[in-house]
Amino acid sequence: MRRIKRNAMVSSLVAMSIVIHSVEMFIPSPLPWLRFGFANIIVLTAIAMFGLRVGLMVTILRVFLGTILMGTFLTPAFFLGMGGGIGSTLVMGLAYRKLKPYFSLVGISVMGAYTHNIVQLTIVYLLFIRHSEVFYILPVLLLFGILTGILNGIAAAYLTTYMARFSSAQFESTS
């Protein structure tokens, strides 16, 4: 019973992250890589409630299903999403596991956002634009990433306590 409940929770987290990510594409942005990354709220919540493994699962499923839905499967958007997503999820999951007593979800979210930007721009450089000029934009992205990281972290902290309060099950970390 607990397993079913957990699976239902994880599936709804995946669904939420896909919806949030897709809707976010419609928010206009001055630069193509400047995004809020609201889907990260869900990944953080998944990590806080179920651990790194489920966090990774949510990220990977979100990128697969999200890009298939948006018609960007196996395009640059797919590889960027996958690389940045897995990189930042790994950092956040490990940080949550090892550094939980010190950092709140806000700090962990900022680490994830920072990683996400660096990984994505490195992928852009390695796979798509072989010009070192791409790194020109990195500080701008990183500054913006810190800001969105803080916002997402606050949102994730609220969502985590909310979801824990409204689910009777005791969640144990699977990782």
Partner 1 sequence: MLTLPDKILIAGLVIVTLASFPVIRYFHREGKRVVIELDGEEVGNFSLDEDRFIPVEGKLGTTRVEISEKGVRVLDSPCPYKFCIKSGSIRRSGETLVCLPNRVVVRITGEEGEEVDAVSR
Q: Which of residues 122-141 bind partner 1 (CB under 8 A)?
A: 125, 130-133, 135-136, 138-139
**Any residues with CB less than 8 A from the CB of 79 and at least 6 apart, and which?**
123, 127
Closest separation in Å from C-beta 74 to partner 1: 26
Q: Which stretch binds partner 1 (CB under 8 A): 15-23, 46-54, 73-81, 142-150?
A: 142-150
Which residue, chain included where needed, has tokens 């852009």? 124
Dist. CA 141–CA 31, nearest whole Å: 9
Closest separation in Å from C-beta 151 to partner 1: 12
* C-alpha 134, offset from chain centre: 23
Contact between 84 and 123 under an 8 Å Cβ cutoff? The reply is: yes
Closest separation in Å from C-beta 149 to partner 1: 8
Contact between 150 and 106 under an 8 Å Cβ cutoff? The reply is: yes
Residues interacting with partner 1, by CB under 8 A?
Answer: 99, 102-104, 106-107, 110-111, 114, 125, 130-133, 135-136, 138-139, 142-143, 146, 150, 154, 157
